[in-house]
Amino acid sequence: MLKVKEVKAKSILNKSKIFDYCLNPYTGCQINCTYCYARLFMRRYSGHSETWGEFVDVKVNAPEVLKKQLDKAKKGTVWISSVCDPYQPLEAKYALTRCCLKELAKRQFPVNIQTKSKLVLRDLDLFQEFETIEVGLTITTDDEQVAKLFEPRATSVEERFRVLEKIHSLGIKTFAFVGPLLPGNPERLIERLEEKADKIFIDRMNYLNSVRGFYHQLGLHKETSDRFFHEYKERLISELKKRKMKFEVLF
Ligand code: SF4
């Protein structure tokens, strides 16, 4: 059962190695992906004894704290979010991501958002207020059943394609994060992303040891091999080149 706690954060805009800043309105993530790298350290870091996916701390003062921090911060790109999904189901109630976006839009801080949730569509009005914004959907496979096993509480793959298409159709810059590469059909996946994502990022499963047992329970032995990731990557690249789509490989 999910344990939700309302907490007060001291800081919400934090330095990041990937972008200038990262912003996490929640500690914990209801989407509970089997492979989540945050599950490896966030439980200990946040002092929780519950399993990852079963606790969420809601930083109820996030917009106020952000407002104060933005008054002093040097302008830079804000990544939303690095260790939670900013549009996990609780966001429908708390709207912390939305309120933080309002503060960022007022000051025109560039934003990079990444999610697996259709709730992102709620904020289309705000995305249109930004001079610089990129909105991405993580889509790890075209296979609905595989996604259900690894990402049990994420929006369905079909819906994620539709969400991306909708955002893109409004002239907002979009990307698809294809990672970690899960079993599926790479050519079909790229075909479905065409004219929906301005850029595709590709990554392998990075913390394989923590999920190897899960793969094996599913009988997916060869899908954990280096050979699988490299062959899958080559098929994705070949399809991307054929369709003249922009991409970046991260491994
Ligand atoms: S959506 Fe992201 S942060 Fe949430 S459980 Fe999945 S991988 Fe982790």
Helix axes 96-107, 62-72, angle to 10 degrees: 20
pTM of the model: 0.97
The answer for residues whose C-beta is within 8 angstroms of residue 41's C-beta and 6 or more apart is none
CB 115 within 8 A of CB 87: yes
pLDDT of 180-234, one tens digit each? 999 999 999 999 999 999 999 999 999 999 999 999 999 999 999 999 999 999 9
Residue 52 confidence (pLDDT): 92
What is the Å distance from ligand 1's center to 242 Cα?
31
DSSP letters for 165-180 = HHHHHTT-EEEEEE-S
CATH 3.80.30.30 maps onto the chain at 132-251
Q: What pairs with residue 183 in β-bridges?
A: none
pLDDT of 125-182, one tens digit each? 999 999 999 999 999 999 999 999 999 999 999 999 999 999 999 999 999 999 999 9
Instruction: For residue 39, give the ligand 1 atom closest to its CA.
Output: 8
What is the Å distance from ligand 1's center to 148 Cα?
13
CB 179 within 8 A of CB 203: yes
- pLDDT(43) > 80: no
Question: Residue 40: pLDDT band by 50, 70, 90 thresholds?
Answer: confident
> Listing from the earlier edge strand, what are the strands of the sheet with 55-59?
3-7, 55-59, 26-27
| Ligand 1 pocket check for 84: Cβ under 6 Å | yes
At residue 124, what is the residue type? L
CB 123 within 8 A of CB 97: yes
Residue 46 confidence (pLDDT): 83
| Ligand 1 pocket check for 22: Cβ under 6 Å | no
- pLDDT(241) > 90: yes
Average pLDDT in the 3-32 region?
Answer: 97
Pick the CATH number of 132-251 from 3.30.460.40, 3.40.50.720, 3.80.30.30, 3.30.428.10: 3.80.30.30
What is the Å distance from ligand 1's center to 52 Cα?
10
Instruction: For residue 83, give the ligand 1 atom closest to its CA.
Output: 3
The dihedral built from the CA positions of residue 161, 206, 112 and 28, taken in this order, carries a sign that is positive
| Ligand 1 pocket check for 137: Cβ under 6 Å | no
Average pLDDT in the 44-70 region?
Answer: 93
Helix, strand, coil abundance in the chain, percent, nearest 5: 40, 20, 40
| Ligand 1 pocket check for 36: Cβ under 6 Å | yes
- pLDDT(62) > 90: yes
Residue 170 confidence (pLDDT): 98
- pLDDT(66) > 90: yes
Residue 49 confidence (pLDDT): 87
Query: Whose C-alpha lies nearest to ligand 1, atom 8?
Result: 36
| Ligand 1 pocket check for 80: Cβ under 6 Å | no
Residue 47 confidence (pLDDT): 85
Query: Is residue 131 packed enough to be buried (19+ CB in 10 Å), middle (13-18) or exposed (0-12)?
Result: exposed
Question: Residue 59: pLDDT band by 50, 70, 90 thresholds?
Answer: very high
pLDDT of 88-138, one tens digit each? 999 999 999 999 999 999 999 999 999 999 999 999 999 999 999 999 999
Query: Whose C-alpha lies nearest to ligand 1, atom 7?
Result: 36
CB 159 within 8 A of CB 121: no
Query: Whose C-alpha lies nearest to ligand 1, atom 1?
Result: 85
Neighbouring CB atoms inside 10 A of 86's CB total 26
Helix axes 186-193, 226-242, angle to 10 degrees: 40
- Phi, psi values for residue 75, rounded to 5°: -60, 135
